[in-house]
Amino acid sequence: MKVLKTALFILALFLAVIQFIPDRLPENVADNPGDMLNSGAVPEQVVAILKTSCYDCHSNETHFPWYSRLAPASWLMAKDIREGRENVNFSEWNGLSKRDKIGKLESVKEEITKGEMPLPVYTLIHRKARLTPEQVSYLAKWADDMANEILK
């Protein structure tokens, strides 16, 4: 019993201490005039999928859950969100070159088709973010169509 108490105490102390290590969670931006969805050209069904399954990491509008401020969850999230925004940030879409837009849309198609996105660690907690096979083929087709549209 004493051993258990000591172990719990050490664990609590450890958790308390790591809270002081900066998490580097990226900030949200409220106003995103360059957001892809502002154009109104994206079909509603796609908007819904993107918002539910992609926007937490691939936009400036992340929904931070309560545990996102707690280490060590915050570290993991900070890394994934940072990398996600770096690769594709739909909130800063309009500033991209045509070439970049096409490249990113083709990546969207590839990643979701291969099942590499959304990240399994994310869908494990966010069950609603999981894409059904129908959603995958719908989104992949939309991405490819939009890339071809940019080419015209």
Partner 1 sequence: MKTTILLGILGSLALVVFIRGSVMHRETGTESARLTEVDFPAEVKAIIDQKCHGCHSVDGKSKDAKESLMWDSIPEYPRVKQLAKLNDIIGVLDDGSMPPEKFIEMEPGAKLTKEQRRILKSWAEQTADELLN
Only one of the segments 3-11, 13-21, 123-131, 140-148 lies at the binding site for partner 1 (rule: CB under 8 A); that segment is 140-148
Q: In the complex with partner 1, which residue's Cβ is closer, 18 or 42?
A: 42
**Residue list 60-99, contact with partner 1 (CB under 8 A):** 98-99
DSSP string covering the chain = -HHHHHHHHHHHHHHHHHTTS---PPPP-S--TT-GGGGS-S-HHHHHHHHHHTTTTSSS-----GGGGSTTHHHHHHHHHHHHHHH--GGG-TTS-HHHHHHHHHHHHHHHHHT--S-HHHHTT-GGGPPPHHHHHHHHHHHHHHHHHHH-
34 binds partner 1 (CB under 8 A): no
112 binds partner 1 (CB under 8 A): no
Q: In the complex with partner 1, which residue's Cβ is closer, 114 or 128?
A: 114
- The contact set with partner 1 (CB under 8 A) reads 98-100, 102-103, 105-107, 144, 147-148, 151
